[in-house]
Structures are given as C-alpha cells and as structure tokens.
Amino acid sequence: MAASQDLDALVARIRACRLCVERPFGAPLPHEPRPVLQISASARLLIAGQAPGTRVHATGAPFNDPSGDRLRGWIGLSRQQFYDPTRVAVAAMGFCYPGRDAKGADLPPRRECRASWHDELFRLAPRFETIFAVGRAAQDYHGARLGRPLPVGASLEEVIRLCAAQIHLRPHLLALPHPSWRNNAWLRRRPWFEREIAPLARELAAKALTECRVQKTEI
C-alpha cells in the first residue's frame, strides 16, 4: 500500500510539473505545460513513447490520435483496454508536447523530464511483464535501465530485431517504430514487421493483461 501511495504521489507531482517553463534546460517550453502520464501500481504492460503530439496535448490522453490507432492495432488492444490505467501504463520520455522546430517537425523530448522524473518513476513503478519501447529515446533508456544497452549507432531495424531475439528475457522489451504516418515508407519497405513483430507484440500484450487480471484476483 505504501509503495502504491508513493507512486500516486509522484504521478501527481509529475502532472503538476512546470520545470520546462520555470527552470528549463535551454529555451523554455513555448506553451503551457500539460504533462501526460498514465500509470498505476497494478499495470503490467508499459507503453514507453517519445513525447506527446498536438492532439495529445489538447486532450490530455496519451496516443489519442491516428498514431495511437495504428499502435493499438499493432499490439491488439482496444481503446477501452489501452486507457485502463490499472492494466496499461503509458509513460513517454517527454511528458509534455515539446513544440516544433523551424521546419515544422516535432522537437525531441524535453531533457527536464528524463533528468528529473524517470529514474524515480521507474523505481516506484510496478514490475512490468512487457515494455513496448516506441522510438529511440525510449529504447535507449529502457534498454540501459534493464541492463541491456543497445549498440551505439544501431539502426531502427537492428534494434527491433535485437529486442525480438532477446524476448525470452524478463521483463520483455520489444522495440517498435513510431506509428506516425512519417514511417509509412519505412514500414512498406519492411513487410517482416507486420508479419513477425506485430503478432509477437499482440501475444505479449495479451499475456501482460492476463497477468494483470491474475494479480488483481490474488489481491
């Protein structure tokens, strides 16, 4: 109970965070912060992404956009399942929408989040059965956190295949490409992803949710 209360208190602090405006690393966030985070002590599946986009910033719901629809298709979860915090955690490397660069592309996750919150968050977080790491920042962080650092300079394809080859390790760590439309060409050139990795992701997600039900029944 104490661990759960500590986690809840930390989540409340993260949701009230204004570091990127009041004590930023470099230029401040160009808009009002809105940290987006979904986690509970009973969740057994973690979706670790990069940072919210504009629609997620507007609604406060993680992956509440077409990218989220594609991601849920890959891992075989309905919206109801995905947005159940007792079963699924969603914690990006940047909790707030970081804004866009001069070319209109999304900026990388704010460094304040990783430096200030992530180590403590995952120290208090539950024992996840499976982690889906979406994007290189999440893949590098969770790979290192689990004692499985990724090779420097490895391509996305190499990272995905390496994680799939190590899927027998616990907790399971599976790297996924970002489900944005910007990766459509990458996905078209790699049909093995839909053929091999997406079914594995659905299997892992189903097992994690089953484990969550078992744990809640035992409690």
Q: Structural domain of residue 55, as residue ranges?
A: 2-218
Using CA atoms in the order 187, 192, 194, 199, what is the torsion angle rounded to 10 degrees? -150
Number of domains in the chain: 1
User: Whole-prediction pTM value?
Assistant: 0.93
pLDDT of residue 219: 46
Q: Are 177 and 139 in contact (CB under 8 A)?
A: no
Q: Mind listing the pLDDT tens digit for each residue in 115-124?
A: 999 999 999 9
Report the CATH number at residue 115. Answer: 3.40.470.10
Enter the DSSP assignment of 219: -
Q: Mind listing the pLDDT tens digit for each residue in 39-64?
A: 999 999 999 999 998 899 999 999 99
